[in-house]
Structure 1
């Protein structure tokens, strides 16, 4: 919960950095919010974005009846996305640049990433709790490291990247449950935490990804899920049931459901043999490349498709429950993913998870709220840091702490010139699949500056969504204008550069 001390910290930080956000006046009836975040679901992995191989009829219905955000952006990996989402702050403020165990290079190449989000960084769940929301977190958390005390006491920047125990090593559990509550959902305003740990996947068992169930089938080995023999034997079903039970218990509202499914993150585990066979026999889509593989790759894609279909079934369960209980009119559903696809393919965009190209950072997203959100598709870009201020506006909270995004609630009923015209930024100070870089997208142009060399890449995303034609040399005026804005943003915010950077700021 937010205390006078933490709010004062937020206010002081806002003054220092020059960013504040004040929400709308308190609505007469605060809406319920169901926020569904899928893990590693690609932009093209859903029917409402053109997939004909994967089957997502329930998701598509909600999307097509609501606002589809065609240009919804995250970071290219889960840790910075989830941190920016929860705090509303860019990576340079929290020091979370990528998943620590994925980092490459030494401390001269990368500013090694933090794992634990410090208490000084307020999460959206805290002001929501203070405003009367009954909230639950379900699924992936990934906002605390396996050794938070050691991490917090370390001298920064680190000389070596952070590590993690083996999946079957549960020696960290007693310490986390007794001494690390401040870093877990219950310390951040949530009433309950179902399945949220430091892990980025559900495979908490001997063998990890190579185990028989990968954490997706019961008995679940996750130490933050009490039921070892639950009614639902499939993880995605179980998390949905827990979400429905919580909504039923708190149906008088307002409630906030932070449903962050582990699916469709690796390991790829088939929902059933019958569904796998269905997709093995289904024609692939040559436009996207989905289902066009052969051999073992075809089997993996078919199994992945069963995970997507299961996700869709469960989203349908949530919508059905809200309808049956008469809650849809005052319940907002937001659906998105934490980064681009890691499994499967999308020939219409470049890259995948971990890359700063569109398939790595552009994700599916929609907002559905009957009568309050017009059914349409918007081209206006929405950044991961925009969700926090949007939640504040929806809840009528006058939040004064530091936020790097803007509410996209104005898009619910039409386009917004200020949102259309603003630039959005990324900063990745540690290496994974790309070198360290900063990025700006403004209008339809996207400029990437690699920090080690200063090399530029410029793409017109309207004409070249696959980012095949680097225009940095062909269109130097645009490149330099965007570069000036990007470097100005870094300088104004004291954004740290890696030691091997050739740039002045």
Structure 2
């Protein structure tokens, strides 16, 4: 059936562009045509690391060095989601939560350890399954980093996949040993090519589709095209640039090349952006732009040399760890618009289901709500969830264990070890510099009660449980394996003492062994503290 064609001038008044956008979406429904969904999922990308202002008019909410013209294009043609959160401050819990439309707490997969999640699968429905529920003709594909030990892509309903994959394929070829070719760093371009081929096949078959392209970038180890690095060597230096970044290539230490050279980092993001532009071009050339939602976001905060203006980054529930650079283009989405309505990636499943025409009720255990209203109305949109508040729980056994509830403009953060509570007005204090806990004790008490009640209701993991599991893994073979690997690498280095790569590997392995020894002692000490204090089974 011939799809509707609507054109309009971006200079028209907001009301006109909104009305026509909604008309496009309504036309899809009336013509019985289900929309397509393309989700580009980055790894460790900080909120202000693109060249798009995440808050309109605030230059400090974009990078002054990294260039992402195709994300600028997406923002110009769609909406910037200024307050879009990842489910967690780490990758695996975020990916599992997004897939299922449930919080990491409810899924008992809140940290990298999947011990509890493997005991019993708690998911109710996945994005591919929900879309097939809305329309059995949907075809779903996942390419790239999976890193979710609770379920495999095929079990989750993906029809096409190259996984499940962890971080390794982002650095090595399929044999796990050979470095990727110079012209395909982090598999950026081959993943994009697979994605385009998949879209072409579905368009030819006249089937609606869901595509999730999960990049290995920007996770360490960093890598990029040489020609892109040469470009950034010639650009004006940004505020994060340091003297060491200007060293000749042959003097760049391996460790710095892998995760500490701003030239390489910026070039890697540029390469992703270029590939993303190719993806957008393919959508346009296939004639499916008006019926395809394109969402770009990340799994958790990054922040190369800091995440200003946000506080902290990966591994933290401060804004820098969970507020994501996020954009959407598609039917009903006003071009060049911004939304500051708080949304979270566990909203994606019910949103896609809603937009796909799903009418049957979704499982009651889902925490997310459809953000279709936000796509269509921006700041006037509202999200209806079974759980009104956004609750982030991160009982991190090797770092800071913390728990957060965001309700309206207020955000309460609790340190699960010290029990210290902070309260911020995120709307006025994005940087989280002004703790209001002492000034507003009633709000603190109310929010902490709601946070605790939800975690108890869903049987969320406690930090004592995650530490007990961690200790069992360390003493059950992890420490011994780490020491054996170190001994093997030292022996190889002794046989080839001038091998810089091997020397680097020995250093990394030694640090890992030291870290595990320190964490074993720390974990046991903190377990005892919680047991003696009576908080071992509380959140």
Query: Do the two structures share a fold, i.e. TM-score over 0.5?
Result: yes
Question: Which of 193, 199, 202 is equivalent to 1:247?
Answer: 199
Conserved 8 A contact 1:381-1:420: no
Q: Note if 1:490 corresponds to 2:455.
A: yes
2:63 aligned with 1:51, yes or no? yes
**Count of residues in correspondence between the two structures:** 414
Distance 1:395 1:370, change over 3 A: closer
Q: Distance in 1 between matches of 2:455 and 2:285?
A: 50
Compared CA separation, residues 394 and 442, structure 1 to 2 (3 A): same
| 1:83 alignment counterpart | 96
With 115-124 and 299-308 compared, the bigger mean Cα shift is at: 115-124
CA distance in 2, matches of 1:353, 1:497: 20
Q: Unpaired segments of 5 or more residues in structure 1?
A: 1-23, 102-111, 146-182, 219-231
Find the aligned partners of 2:393 and 2:191 in 1 and give their Cα distance: 33
Which whole-Å deviations, capped at 9, do the CAs of 1:41-84 have from their partners, x for residues lacking one? Answer: 11111111322211100111112221111011111000110011
Among 82, 85, 90, the alignment partner of 1:73 is: 85
Q: Which residue of 1 aligns with 2:170?
A: 202
Match of 1:97 among 81, 97, 110: 110
Q: In 2, Cα distance between the equivalents of 1:241 and 1:353?
A: 29
Q: Which residue of 1 aligns with 2:72?
A: 60
Structure 1 residues 471 and 248 mapped into 2: Cα distance closer, same or farther (>3 Å)? same
Partner Cα separation in structure 2 for residue 480 and residue 469 of structure 1? 18
Shift of 1:26: 7.0
Q: Taking structure 1 as the reference length, what is the TM-score of the superposition?
A: 0.75
- Call closer, same or farther: CA 1:138–1:116 in 2, change over 3 Å: farther
| 1:322–1:328 contact (8 Å) kept in structure 2 | yes
Cα distance in 1 for partners of 2:71, 2:127 equals: 25
Q: 1:395 to 1:60 in 2, by over 3 A?
A: same
User: Secondary structure of 1:278's partner?
Assistant: helix
How far residue 503 of structure 1 moved from its aligned partner, in angstroms, is 7.7
Aligned: 1:396 with 2:364: no
Once the 2 structures are TM-superposed, how far is the Cα of residue 98 of structure 1 from its aligned partner?
1.5
CA drift at 1:119: 7.4
CA deviation map 1:357-388 (0-9, x unaligned) = 11111111111015544531111111121111
1:423 counterpart residue number? 389
Q: Deviations over 1:292-328 (max 9, x none)?
A: 4634569711101111111111111111111112110
Aligned to 2:280: 319
Determine if the alignment matches structure 1 residue 191 to structure 2 residue 194.
no
In 1, Cα distance between equivalents of 2:199 and 2:102: 29
Match for residue 305 of structure 1? 266
- Answer whether contact 2:101 2:350 (CA < 8 A) is retained: yes
Structure 1 residue ranges (4+ consecutive) displaced by more than 6 angstroms after TM superposition: 24-27, 205-208
Describe the superposition over 1:419-472 as per-residue Cα deviations: whole angstroms up to 9, x where unpaired: 39942111123324312x221112222101122342201122233222222221
Partner secondary structure for residue 187 of structure 1: coil
The alignment partner of 1:364 has SS state of: strand
Residue 234 of structure 1 deviates from its aligned partner by 6.5
Give the RMSD, CA atoms, in angstroms: 3.0
Residue pair 1:87, 1:124 contacting (<8 A) in 2 also: yes
**Structure 1 stretch displaced more, 425-434 or 323-332:** 425-434
Report if aligned partners of 1:216, 1:234 keep a CA contact under 8 Å in 2. no
Q: CA deviation at 1:113?
A: 5.5
Q: CA deviation at 1:399?
A: 4.2
1:141 paired with 2:95, answer no
Q: 2:406 matched to which residue of 1?
A: 441
Residue of structure 2 equivalent to 1:35: 39
CA distance in 1: counterparts of 2:197 and 2:174, whole angstroms: 31
Partners of 1:277 and 1:458 lie apart in 2 by: 45
8 Å Cα contact 2:107/2:123 also seen in 1? no
- Whichever structure has more helix as a proportion of its residues is 2
Give the one of 106, 116, 129 matched to 1:126.
129
Q: Which residue of 2 aligns with 1:268?
A: 222
- Which of the residues 398, 401, 408 maps onto 2:371? 408
Gaps of 5+ in 2: 1-25, 54-61, 246-251, 465-529
